[in-house]
Amino acid sequence: MNNPFFEPWNTPFGAPPFDKIRPEHFGPAYERALAEHRSEIGAIAAAPASFATTIVALEKSGQLLRKVEAVFGNLCASHTNEVLQAIERDMAPILARHWNDIFLNADLFARIDAVSTDGLDAESVRVLERYKLDFERAGARLKGGDRERLATIIENLATLGTQFGQNVLADEQSFVLPLQEADLDGVPEVAREAAAQTAKERGLDASFAVTTSRSSVEPILQFADKRDLREKLFKAWIKRGGNANAHNNSAIIGEMVRLRAERARLLGYPSFAHYKLADTMAKTPVAARTLLDQVWAPAKARAIEERDALQAEIQKEGGNFPLEAWDWRYYAEKVRKARYDLDDAELMPYFQLDNMIAAAFDTAHRLFGLDFAERHDIPVYHPDVRVWDVTHNGAHVGLFYGDYFARSSKRGGAWMSSFRDQERLDHDVSPLIVNSCNFNKGNPALLSFDEAKTLFHEFGHALHGLLSNVRFPRLSGTNVAQDFVELPSQIYEHWMEVPETLERFALHYETGKPIPKALIEKLRKARNFNKGFATVEFLASALVDLDYHALDNPADLDSAAFEKASLDKIGMPKEIVMRHASPHFLHIFTGDGYSAGYYSYMWSEVLDADGFQAFEEAHDAFDPATAKRLLDFIYSAGGTRDFAEAYRLFRGRDPKIDALLEGRGLAA
């Protein structure tokens, strides 16, 4: 069988040949890639220790495996099917075992440990330090039975994380709610069109339908007059992964928390949170929690004020019921309309997807000199995917893939990933960067204000990959501390709200006229409306995450009871739910990525709010000197230096929390 993974990719820029790749290619590709990598590792472990024969050789090893993993991982997240999911389940423990065998290879670690820093430049010293730390944190210094037990734990966690994600997707795929015209009273036309498109795509004998995708749920919760409909959809949405069916994640959560705690103990840490945060800017769970606690008190106080205002609106309308979680968005929209003469239905016609993509590109051009030209000769994995050639002064920088629409084969949320990362170890390797979102289709596709910010957020991540300018793959792009990685994405959101951006790109989809200055002014005045709610739903998730991973020896964990106790401890308002409840908390339970690290969005927001103030102090959102520092020390530097130092080089000082509190309207 011809296998495209065993042949040169003669596509433009060496992009994956998705027109040739089939599910049946992955099994043989993984088999060969793993065998090649094992052979390479064996040779490195047997060679004399030096920077060239050990660290550089490690950086060059596993290239076929890297290629297969990048394509397979993206497909499993963005366009999966039962065949791919079966391969994913089979490969999870095999891959975990493969990496365990590398990180627990005593001869290999002895070579790494023996490499001297003498004569090395700063980037080489940094990558050597990272390799030593990676191996130590993976258990390289453990002995005997502890090494074997750690390997078993990591394999089990990989299997459980894969199953967790597949369970959430299964619940999302299985729920679809058919609707009729009368169900959509109050819902704006653009959201109706999206619901009609959903019914058509699902092949339903109904005019409209909604799913538990956030982009499908939120317009109903925000605008639908039928309270029982809002309740039904809301409960289905928050129960993903927690239903009484074969996809229930409760037992998986308990087992993952227990195994993570045991892993930390084996490595000498009092809890998994201590282990995970040791290699971050925060350093300790106490530091992370201190930040969250500083924001929690004013956020909760603001949320209580908001709750009381919504309850008053219910009573003003003659409603004889207490505000519930499925009512919040609906009545918040009414109050916002009354206070600021502003609602999302008025805004959405100005936020066309294509225009917001153009706005994100234009911002990158003005800040960093990038240009984007759409290509139609690059193979893609789904017809919705678009590809752009990214250049700087006419020179190729990389490819950018935009995958913007929700579908049943894609997991929920929004994320950045890559098919290839930038490096220049032997020669310049250009990055192939992907943004995945879950927007509703339309003709044209229109976004809410928050969805437009999501687009800018993910494109900030994409630029972190595209603008990377480092030598070593280990330090490339987003290979940075977890509580630093959100800085490039979150700071980029600010440019979506810059008046110049709105005036040029927020054009009415029918008239082509720019968003009125009066509407921009309303947006400015209303920007902190409902921020208590938004902050509380996020902080609750971050605090529950830290609580799970602060446990030193959890046994027989009842995740529902634990979550409730954690929320009771902080006095969570009953009218607000966590942004990500435990059974579908993909960030922390599909892998170790954000486990004990969901706080990092808030940590990074301290950096991004403080960082954008540098442009405000320059009285120019596109100030060239500030943009140059942002490029040199944040976007292009990858993991080449300590992250606190990188921020100081950009900002000239350490960050302050004041801008975050002010930006969220929570300052005293």
Query: Can you read off the two tokens belonging to residue 257?
Result: 């928390």
Q: In what order do the strands lie in the sheet with 395-405?
A: 370-375, 386-392, 395-405, 432-439, 415-420
Residue type, 651: R
Per-residue model confidence as pLDDT tens digits over 212-239: 999 899 999 999 999 999 999 999 999 9
* Residues forming beta bridges with residue 352, ordered by sequence position: 446
d(CA 596, CA 275): 9
ω into residue 444 within 30 of 0, thus cis? yes
The answer to whether residue 457 scores a pLDDT higher than 70 is: yes
Q: What is the pLDDT of residue 668?
A: 65
Per-residue model confidence as pLDDT tens digits over 473-519: 999 999 999 999 999 999 999 999 999 999 999 999 999 999 999 99
Q: What is the pLDDT of residue 28?
A: 98
> Percent of the chain at pLDDT above 90?
96
d(CA 392, CA 468): 13
d(CA 27, CA 29): 5
Q: What is the pLDDT of residue 553?
A: 84
Q: What is the pLDDT of residue 343?
A: 83
User: Among this protein's residues, is 616 annotated catalytic?
Assistant: no
Beta strand 386-392 pairing with 370-375: antiparallel
CA distances (Å), 15 to each of 21, 418, 526, in order?
A: 12, 11, 44
The answer to whether residue 139 scores a pLDDT higher than 90 is: yes
8-state DSSP, 4:
G
Provide mean pLDDT across the span 162-186. 95
d(CA 44, CA 60): 11
Q: Which residue has the tokens 């960030």?
A: 587
Q: How far is C-alpha 552 from the chain's CA centre?
A: 28
Query: Collapsing DSSP states into helix, strand and coil, what is residue 439?
Result: strand
Q: What is the pLDDT of residue 435?
A: 98
Per-residue model confidence as pLDDT tens digits over 269-309: 999 999 999 999 999 999 999 999 999 999 999 999 999 99
Q: What is the pLDDT of residue 136?
A: 97
Q: Which residue has the higher pLDDT, 556 or 562?
A: 562
Provide mean pLDDT across the span 92-101. 97
d(CA 206, CA 200): 8
CA atoms within 13 A on the CB side of 578: 22
d(CA 570, CA 295): 12
Provide mean pLDDT across the span 170-181. 95
Mean of all residue pLDDT scores within the chain: 96
The answer to whether residue 154 scores a pLDDT higher than 70 is: yes
Helix axes 26-46, 82-103, angle to 10 degrees: 10
Provide mean pLDDT across the span 57-80. 98
Query: Collapsing DSSP states into helix, strand and coil, what is residue 254?
Result: helix
Query: Can you read off the two tokens belonging to residue 388?
Result: 């752009």
Helix (H) or strand (E) holding 401: strand 395-405
Spot the catalytic one: 172, 458, 563, 575.
458
Residue type, 290: T
The answer to whether residue 1 scores a pLDDT higher than 80 is: no
Residue type, 146: D
Q: What is the pLDDT of residue 583?
A: 98
CA atoms within 13 A on the CB side of 431: 30
8-state DSSP, 185:
T
The answer to whether residue 70 scores a pLDDT higher than 90 is: yes
d(CA 317, CA 229): 19
In terms of Cβ atoms closer than 10 Å to its own Cβ (0-12, 13-18, 19+), residue 555 is exposed
Per-residue model confidence as pLDDT tens digits over 49-66: 999 999 999 999 999 999
User: Taking CA 343 as the corner, what is the angle to CA 339 and CA 348, rounded to the nearest 5 degrees?
Assistant: 155
Domains of the chain, with CATH numbers? 4-103+105-141 (1.20.1050.40), 175-238 (no CATH)
Per-residue model confidence as pLDDT tens digits over 410-448: 999 999 999 999 999 999 999 999 999 999 988 899 999
In terms of Cβ atoms closer than 10 Å to its own Cβ (0-12, 13-18, 19+), residue 581 is buried
Helix (H) or strand (E) holding 502: helix 499-505
Per-residue model confidence as pLDDT tens digits over 24-52: 999 999 999 999 999 999 999 999 999 99
Are the C-beta atoms of residues 249 and 242 closer than 8 Å to each other?
Answer: yes
